[in-house]
Amino acid sequence: MIVYLLTLLILSAPKPGAARTTHHSSLITDHSAVRLPPSWHAKQTMLADPDDPYWDAFWVYADEAPTYPLGWLFGDFVERSSDDPADVLTRHEIATEVSHRTNPQSPDYDPRAKRVARTMLMEMLAMERDAGVRLRTLSALWESCEIGDIEVADFLDDLLESEADPLVRPLMRTVIHCLRTGEGPCGD
């Protein structure tokens, strides 16, 4: 159900050679205010020359991330908190991996991961500076919550007060509404 909102993510372009996904901008109310995040520019640079040795560590991490325990992923997210393009894309990859483990429709779904991931994703979202990574982390957090999770809705309400990005704000409002009411594009 929430999958269509994930297309909002401008960073969802797959590895070279795979099918491309476009972003959905209907949730953006002020298109003039959209400034693409550094993660988007990093992704475009990487896709322009994926064989550049600079990206080798990212590709290795992306291939190995599915084997890492959630605690390691969180530690790596914190450790790679710089604005270096490879670090930004690695944090996006970490949020994506957590999402795979918490989404019941994913082949990598692990019901035990939902319990651990929720708190971890809240911390990741609170510390993330890049809007593209925040979008992915917010989506992963949404997937790890149940309808009626008022603690997360309140947490997101607090974050929304300082959220300036016109791509993140509408999704954050949607998640808050969905968690509080069960109305809208809530997943099961």
pLDDT at 34: 60
Domain ranges of the chain: 37-47+54-181
Q: Are 98 and 70 in contact (CB under 8 A)?
A: yes
DSSP 29: S
Query: Each residue of 6-34: pLDDT tens digit?
Result: 333 333 433 333 333 333 344 444 445 56
CA distance 80 to 86: 9
Q: Which residue has the tokens 């901008």?
A: 25
Indicate the pTM of the whole model.
0.79
Q: Which residue has the higher pLDDT, 2 or 141?
A: 141
Q: What is the mean pLDDT of residues 91-120?
A: 91
- In this prediction, residue 3 carries a pLDDT of 32
Summarize the confidence of residues 114-129 as an average pLDDT.
94
| φ/ψ bin of 56: left (φ > 0), alpha (ψ from -120 to 50), beta (otherwise) | alpha
